[in-house]
Amino acid sequence: MVTKGCGNMHDRKRLEEQIEHLRTKMYEIYENDPSDKRLLEVSQNLDELLNKFNSQDPTT
């Protein structure tokens, strides 16, 4: 059971890292060209990760 919890904590940490990576990428794209078509795609991917992160149980 402890192993499962550690796996979930690892998954949560990995999600946090992916979120930060996409957030940085989104800001960089925006700073270079606010009308860049990639901005929408990155933003949508970030939204998906944030929703996944927020739906996880933080105690596991």
Q: Is residue 17 part of a domain?
A: yes
Whether residue 60 lies inside any domain: the answer is no
36 within 8 A of 13, measured Cβ to Cβ:
no
pLDDT in tens, 31-53: 999 999 999 999 999 999 999 99
Whether this prediction's pTM lies above 0.75 is answered by: yes
pLDDT digits (tens, 9 = 90+) for 22-31: 999 999 999 9
In this prediction, residue 8 carries a pLDDT of 77
Full domain range(s) for residue 15: 2-55
Q: What is the DSSP letter of 56?
A: S
Residue 22 lies in a domain: yes
Q: Is residue 37 part of a domain?
A: yes
Q: Residue 35 falls within a domain, yes or no?
A: yes
**Domains in the chain, number:** 1
> To the nearest whole number, what is the mean pLDDT of the chain?
87
Kindly state the tokens that stand for 27. Answer: 């800001």
- Strand ranges, E, within the chain: none
